[in-house]
A = this chain, B = another copy of it.
């Protein structure tokens, strides 16, 4: 069942755009691990926050992806760019009005 993970990441002062650049670096591993969609964004309303919407083939695929060496390296590299504030939620996709 498709799994959705939606999050907000607080950026360290002055580091938002660097965090965006980090999160949008082309990654073949993500698709191979079952990532269907990974959109990164910003909002004028919350200038120190980076927003992420992810869709995965399953919750298990998402969980497993976090253990990949490339993911571990990416998380370590992101650490200095983060404020430590996180938000968001996750859920199981059950349908869409755009398809039967």
Contacts and interface: CB of A to CB of B under 8 A. Distances in A.
Interface of A: 2, 4, 6, 8, 20, 23-27, 30-31, 35, 37-43, 46, 51, 53, 55, 89-100
B92 A53 contact: no
B92 A26 contact: no
Given A53-B4, A53-B6, A53-B53, A39 B96 contact: yes
Oligomeric state, in copies: 2
Contacts of A42: 91-92, 94
A25 B98 contact: no
Interface SS of chain A: strand
Contact of A96 (B40, B92, B94): B40
B51 A89 contact: yes
Contacts of A43: 89-92
